Structure 1
Amino acid sequence: MIGQDIIDRFRVILGDKGVITDASDIAPWLTDWRGRFHGHAAAILQPDSTEQVARTVALAAKIGVPLVPQGGNTSMVGGATPPPDGSALILSLRRMNRIRSLRAEDNLAICEAGVILANLHDAADQAGRRFPLSLGAKGSATIGGLISTNAGGTQVLRHGTMRALVDGVEAVLPDGGIFDGLDALKKDNRGYDVRQLLIGAEGTLGIITAASLRLVPAIAARAVGWAGVQSPADALALLRHAEAHLGNSVEGFEVIADDGLGHVLSHIPGTRCPIQTRTPWHVLIEVDHDSDRRPGPVERLESALADALEQGIIMDAAIAANEAQAEAFWRIRESLSEAERAQGPALQYDVSVPVARMPAFMTDAAAAAQRAFPGTTASSFGHLGDGNVHFHVRAPVGTTDGPAWIAAQGPAINAFVHDAVVAAGGSISAEHGIGQMKRAELGRLSSPARLTALRAIKAAFDPHGIMNPDKLIPRPDEG
């Protein structure tokens, strides 16, 4: 446990506003978003500048106090939850919430780590630009967390993950030194790319304090459509058909199993199926134009879907008649995780496989899991264009003690699903990171060369192990 004398040393740096010690104020930040991991911390440290972060980290390094960086606490893998023994302090970046600059002419925004994604969206919109990354937790997820996990979301098909959208970073390294890499250089060959090492490192190599982020022109017009298909293979055929007809104006392409849609309709008030026919699988597609060229996106999408219907690729389709309807279509997709939680206990997997293998994986892995674990049901949804599958295995109907079922069946189901992913040439983490939930599996399934590289990088940056302990990097007994 960390005593009051140590907390007071941080208070000298951060002031009274920068240190939270009230147990009731700390409590909401000790549990991960899914409620699976629970930790303890004697205090939350809240710096309001990069200089304060640097001084805080330098002191932590000097006295050997581990720090757990935290933004919106929306990690899906326990990546921002402190250890249960109280040996670490939470370092919250939420007070560092300033957009330092937003230059429409340069298509660039410089944001501090605590900026909430939705607030960046609003600021960019006011400048006639947009930041092309969105996800269900946009109202609470912060820029620092999104960079630290290399977040993806629903627009990766056209714009890529956070790696593709970050042009520069400012970070505090484990010794308290400030890495000033905010300049958005197109060419920089000064050796190892520290920026890229920090992106996706989950706070294990340093604390990201600010970033230069790439903006794109605002959407001038968009079309959002919903299509029913017989199988994920037909969904992939529709994607290739859409790419041929619509080019890079296809911004979103989501595939959803019908049972997932059913859960949303059952648990999310005000939702309804966008098409008249309930088909085995569904596709949500968005086409965006950043100019008023003709034909517009609605006409182009209508033509592409009509042709797909004639060819037998799709079974039914609808195009949103207005913005409210377009948002209603997207609300279904963004409510899938919430609806799955309401449906009952389940194990959720964020994985990726090569795009060409994704349709077979979605059907075959689900069928195999149900055979291997009688009484369970399995299905998936995902970003078909980038191979990201959100794969869920639900507890048998009537299961009343979800945590007990997960504790008893989770290890075997985890191994089964992850083995199937690796056999398909995929990754056990597509966009949520490793955190602590997948750390042991990363160790079990990674090659010795990968593990050696990960551990060597961690040791070089953080020799005393104070940066987000027990996250991402497998322990020696885990691989």
Structure 2
Amino acid sequence: MTLSPVTSDFIETLKADLPAAAFRDAEPRYLEEPRGRWTGKVGVVIAPDSVEDVARIVGKAAEARIPVVPYGGGTGLVGGQLMPDGDAPVLLSLERMTRVRAVYPEENVMIVEAGAILSDVHDRASDHDRLYPLSIAAKGTARIGGLLATNAGGVNVLRYGNARDLCLGLEAVLPDGRIWHGLKRLRKDNTGYDLRNLLIGSEGTLGVITAAALRLVPRPAGEGTALLAVRDPSAALTLLALAQQRMGGCVSAFEIIHRAGLDFLRETLPEIRLPFERPPEWMVLMDVGLPQGLEPSGALETLFEAAFEAGLVDDGIIAQSEAQRAELWDVREHIPEANRRIGSVSSHDISLPLGEIARFIERAESVIAEIGEFRINCFGHLGDGNLHYNVFPLAGQSRADHPAARDRIKRAVHDLVHEMGGSVSAEHGIGRLKVDDLERYGDPTKLAAMRAIKAALDPAGIMNPGAVLRSR
């Protein structure tokens, strides 16, 4: 269906209904994405401060058939937050909608607006001795609406689940401008189709999330962190099973790190303190949160001893203070920035069945070697099967030296993932980057259902056109 660009008359119509504070200059931050693959187009940037104003904007855009691109913190890695092609859209930023509307500590619920920054939500939960477990490296910039729209994952999925699992209810504006008042605080609600779960993960293509009822959890009485040198990825998986067996459901995070990650940090971010003078080939960074009466560092020491006797680990560091815990996690959270500074030839956010991960890593290395000589930095959330499998040029080269390799590498890696029963998008979403991948690897019946849902809710196709599903 044909869309129209933002016009001066349309902007004047909006200005008649919205305060001047809602209008923003089209600064570069609205037009760029972290990996620098695209530059967005924009007709007007609007930052409303209420759900009613969001409804007015979307409703008027629907009448005029003008595209709307919802914008959170701009941290997405698949291009869902900008529109590089087509008619100049309304870029609808949630940055002014940051209120915490209510906290119910006894219910473990917090109601926040979609523009709330993740780290601020963490702080408000902490004020009530609660934890909002969703955590990613971009927590100081990412906003709740965008995290829900992409069903973000992060380091604590193993214990607490994805963003979807940490949301009880939503408030949202649908593509025709109607407001859905779904901010329920219920754990059980079997009243028909679950619109909440339909909007979560839809990447702004079915509506604009404006507020959410978030699920909090009691803060563990004791938290501990260990960085253990493991023999190989297979040993890391055995260690995960051993840790889960010994600690029940108290393992919060279980990250695998390859030596290349520390090498890249040394090369690009020398101010980051590295835990090993000579990094082992493979490491596991794990977090545990234990109930009162159990001592985390002692439990981790006992685990290390058992893993050492089993030949799974041969070295390790167990944090003895909060400062040491923060230092270990600082290393993990800066690996993506080091990767960005090196400049990957091809990056992959993938997931696999846990039992296939070690075999995938071995097979993928051979597949890449058939294409050329590259460095591989494989790291990620081993506990939930999500790997960030990134391919880099050799030292002294740049990705510009391999102009034809990116598509070949991406296709080879994704073909292998698909063959082994995995997913080519684990936690970053589809956005615009992976539309072709979704069409290539997605189940045809599912894709047909997705297109039918899109046509039913957004018949004019104004909501984030070109993201997730190809514009028709």
TM over 0.5: yes
| Amino acid paired to 1:466 | I
Distance 1:423 1:455 in 2: 25
| Amino acid paired to 1:143 | I
Q: Secondary structure at the match of 1:41?
A: coil
The alignment status of 1:18 with 2:19, answered yes or no, reads: no
Question: Cα offset for 1:267?
Answer: 2.2
2:299 counterpart residue number:
300
Distance 1:403 1:277 in 2: 30
Question: Cα offset for 1:447?
Answer: 2.3
User: Aligned in 2, Cα 1:230/1:272: closer, same or farther, shift over 3 Å?
Assistant: farther
Contact 1:226 1:275 in 2 (8 A): no
Distance 2:6 2:181 in 1: 31
Contact 1:257 1:381 in 2 (8 A): yes
Q: Secondary structure at the match of 2:427?
A: coil
2:224 counterpart residue number:
223
Question: Cα offset for 1:132?
Answer: 0.4
**Structure 1: segments with no counterpart, 5+ residues:** none
1:424 counterpart residue number:
420
Q: Secondary structure at the match of 1:463?
A: coil
Question: Cα offset for 1:75?
Answer: 0.6
1:108 counterpart residue number:
109
Question: Cα offset for 1:404?
Answer: 7.3
Q: Secondary structure at the match of 1:380?
A: strand
Which residues in structure 2 correspond to 1:196-207 (within 5 Å)?
Answer: 196-207=197-208
Distance 2:400 2:429 in 1: 22
Contact 1:346 1:393 in 2 (8 A): yes
* Superimposed CA distance per residue, residues 77-118 of structure 1 (whole angstroms, 9 cap, x where no aligned partner): 001012344521100011101010111111000010000000
Contact 1:227 1:275 in 2 (8 A): no
1:158 counterpart residue number:
159
Contact 1:107 1:216 in 2 (8 A): yes
Give me the CA root mean square deviation.
1.5
The alignment status of 1:5 with 2:9, answered yes or no, reads: yes
1:457 counterpart residue number:
453
Q: Secondary structure at the match of 2:376?
A: strand
**Structure 2: segments with no counterpart, 5+ residues:** none
The alignment status of 1:373 with 2:371, answered yes or no, reads: yes
2:313 counterpart residue number:
314
2:434 counterpart residue number:
438
Contact 1:39 1:85 in 2 (8 A): no
Which residues in structure 2 correspond to 1:301-380 (within 5 Å)?
Answer: 301-369=300-368, 371-380=369-378
2:284 counterpart residue number:
283
Distance 2:111 2:334 in 1: 30
Q: Secondary structure at the match of 1:38?
A: coil
TM-score (norm 2): 0.96
Distance 1:320 1:119 in 2: 26
Distance 1:356 1:162 in 2: 24
* Superimposed CA distance per residue, residues 313-333 of structure 1 (whole angstroms, 9 cap, x where no aligned partner): 111111012111111100111
2:64 counterpart residue number:
63
Question: Cα offset for 1:475?
Answer: 5.0
| Amino acid paired to 1:372 | E
| Amino acid paired to 2:448 | T
| Amino acid paired to 1:383 | H
| Amino acid paired to 2:335 | L
| Amino acid paired to 2:411 | A
Q: Secondary structure at the match of 2:121?
A: helix
| Amino acid paired to 1:303 | T
User: Which deviates more from structure 2 when the two are superposed, residues 389-398 or residues 429-438?
Assistant: 389-398
Q: Provide the identity percentage.
A: 43
Distance 2:308 2:131 in 1: 33
Distance 2:293 2:140 in 1: 32
User: Aligned in 2, Cα 1:475/1:5: closer, same or farther, shift over 3 Å?
Assistant: closer
Contact 2:98 2:117 in 1 (8 A): yes
* Superimposed CA distance per residue, residues 211-245 of structure 1 (whole angstroms, 9 cap, x where no aligned partner): 00000112322111010012100100110111111
User: Aligned in 2, Cα 1:171/1:403: closer, same or farther, shift over 3 Å?
Assistant: farther
Name the count of aligned residue pairs: 468
Contact 2:262 2:279 in 1 (8 A): no
Distance 2:201 2:165 in 1: 12
| Amino acid paired to 1:280 | E
User: Aligned in 2, Cα 1:105/1:325: closer, same or farther, shift over 3 Å?
Assistant: same
Q: 2:382 aligns with which of 384, 395, 400?
A: 384
Q: Secondary structure at the match of 1:347?
A: coil
Which residues in structure 2 correspond to 1:96-245 (within 5 Å)?
Answer: 96-245=97-246
* Superimposed CA distance per residue, residues 233-267 of structure 1 (whole angstroms, 9 cap, x where no aligned partner): 01001101111111111111000111112212332
1:473 counterpart residue number:
469
Q: Secondary structure at the match of 1:348?
A: coil
Contact 1:223 1:286 in 2 (8 A): yes
Q: Secondary structure at the match of 2:440?
A: helix
2:76 counterpart residue number:
75
Q: Secondary structure at the match of 1:304?
A: helix
1:394 counterpart residue number:
392
Query: Structure 1: which 4+ aligned runs deviate by more than 4 Å?
Result: none
| Amino acid paired to 2:307 | A
Contact 1:239 1:253 in 2 (8 A): yes
